[in-house]
Structure formats: C-alpha cells, structure tokens
Structure 1
Amino acid sequence: MQNQIYPCLWFDGQAKEAADFYCTIFKDSKITTDTPMVVNFEINGKKFMGLNGGPKYKFSPATSFVIECETQEEIDFYWEKLGEGGTYNQCGWLDDQFGVSWQIVPVILNKLMSDPEKSERVVQAFLKMSKFEIQKLIDA
C-alpha cells in the first residue's frame, strides 16, 4: 500500500479564496472538495488541502513551493501572478497575498551551479536579483 502525501495549508478563513487564486494561475488545477472547514484542490495533478484553521499559525519561508521554469516568460508569468498583492523577496523567492512562500527558479540553475568554474559567479549574480533573469545567470 502506498500512502499519499500532500500538504495542508493553514489559512485564517481564506482557504477557498486561496484555492480559487491558485486555480486561476495553474492551468491543470481544480477544486475537488469545498466545505466550510476544508478545501481540497489539485495543482498540476498534485493534491493540496486548505484548512480554515484561524489566526493561530502563519506561513513562513521555512516551507516553500518551488516552481521550475524552462523560460524567462514562465518565470515572469509566475512571478507576476503569484506575487500580486504579496511580497517580492531575493533570489527568486516571493510570498503570495496569503503569505505562502514560493521559489520561482529556472531549470538551468542546477546545471549552472554544478559547474565548478562558474558556480561562484552564478551565486554572486543571483544574490543581486529579486526575480531570476536566466540570461544574466548564463552570462555570469
């Protein structure tokens, strides 16, 4: 038997609003269950639970969702859509309007970081960035 593992996101009464928001951004997404306490939804075929648990707990960057992007256009799209009403941070991180942390990163970053001759220059380049810029990383 394989146990399914999925995240439960604790909201202060905004679980449905958050699920609706995410479903407008990710093409392959849908709400599967909507009750006053719990909203289950899927993003890119992955299950999530939104819990209306109240104000006791808040999100932090200690837990974040990573979106790997092939192109600068994808980075720009997710950066703009998820960051709207939220907070843009350094090195591809943002907090959305609900406080959930996201990392919008280029797929090529792993390859660039594993090149011993280039990795330090890449790190120095992205430390100066808020949103990742693929061409500047490649040129570093």
Structure 2
Amino acid sequence: MKVTQTLWFEKDVEAAVRFYTGLVPGSSIQSVSTLPADSPSGPAGSVKLVAFTLGDQRYLAFEAGRLDPFNHSFSIMVECDTQAEIDRLWAALAEGGTIEHCGWLRDRWGLAWQIAPKRLGELINDADRAKAKRVAEAMLTMVKLDVAALEAAARG
C-alpha cells in the first residue's frame, strides 16, 4: 500500500514544486507530465502532474485550473533541528506569502505551512506538565517560533 498526498494548484505547479524540493533536504522530483490527448480530464496538456517527495513524504501535485483554494485543512509541517533551519525556511516560504502565528504561514501559492523546532514537541510532551504549559503559552505568543525563547520558558 502506498499513500500519497495530493495538492491541486491553479497554476505554476512546476515552479512551486521546484521551490519546495529546493528548500527541504532529501526532497526530489520524480516526474513531470501532462495528461494525454485522450484524457477525459480536459484537452491535451491542460493538466500537468508533478510527482515528488518532500523530505520523507510523497506528493502528487497537479495544475488543473481553479478549484478550491488551499486552506488549513491540509498543511505541511516541517520539524527543524536548529533555529538556523527555521529561519531559512521561514524567510523563503514567507516571501510573497502571508505570515500567521505559532509558526504558521502561507506561501505565495497559498499553501499553509508550520515551521517548528523538533524541540517544541519534546518540551510540550515533557512529563513536567507545568514546564509543558509554560512552553505552550510561550509558543502561543510567537509568530516565527524561537527555540531559545521556548527553552527559556521551559526553564521558567
């Protein structure tokens, strides 16, 4: 059994996927194709398909005109080991996009992302529930997540 997330783009699918795979280490494009002339989905070349991996996840992105815009019902979370990784991804994805709170943003294509430190999950799941609460409360005040500030909250 194989599970693949699917993303529907109105336009610029290949540019978006090249951008994403260039940002996340271990990512690659497997194929780029268009539907053939005998496809029931529209005229030849009207639907572009891009199969790719982003980190360790499989995706199929396609460009097929307007349908539903992206929303938070589907988002991509990237857990980073360092603040430098967070800063790099945040800056790239936020360019032309919309910045939100708690590490969330939307890129220029409208796709929702959460860029978070791996350490956040460890701190929020700490057996010391008071520590976990302080970390969660600190996170809720942030826009881009800050590892040092989360660690400081954990220490009290």
What is the TM-score with the length of structure 2 in the denominator? 0.82
1:116 and 1:101 map into 2 onto residues whose CA distance is: 29
2:16 and 2:103 map into 1 onto residues whose CA distance is: 21
Alignment of 1:1-140 (within 5 A): 3-36=1-34, 37-114=48-125, 115-140=128-153
Unmatched 5+ stretches in structure 2? 35-47
2:134 and 2:66 map into 1 onto residues whose CA distance is: 42
The one-character-per-residue Cα deviations of 1:19-45 (angstroms, maximum 9, x if unpaired) are 111122123222221123211122224
Which stretch of structure 1 is more off in the superposition, 45-54 or 15-24?
A: 45-54
Return the offset for 1:56. 1.5
The CA RMSD measured in Å over matched residues stands at 1.4
1:27 and 1:70 map into 2 onto residues whose CA distance is: 12
Q: Matched residue of 1:35: which SS?
A: strand
Q: Matched residue of 1:139: which SS?
A: helix
| 2:139 maps to amino acid | F
The one-character-per-residue Cα deviations of 1:86-112 (angstroms, maximum 9, x if unpaired) are 111100011111111111111111221
Unmatched 5+ stretches in structure 1? none
What is the TM-score with the length of structure 1 in the denominator? 0.90
Q: Matched residue of 2:22: which SS?
A: helix
| 1:22 maps to amino acid | Y
What percentage of aligned pairs have identical amino acids? 35
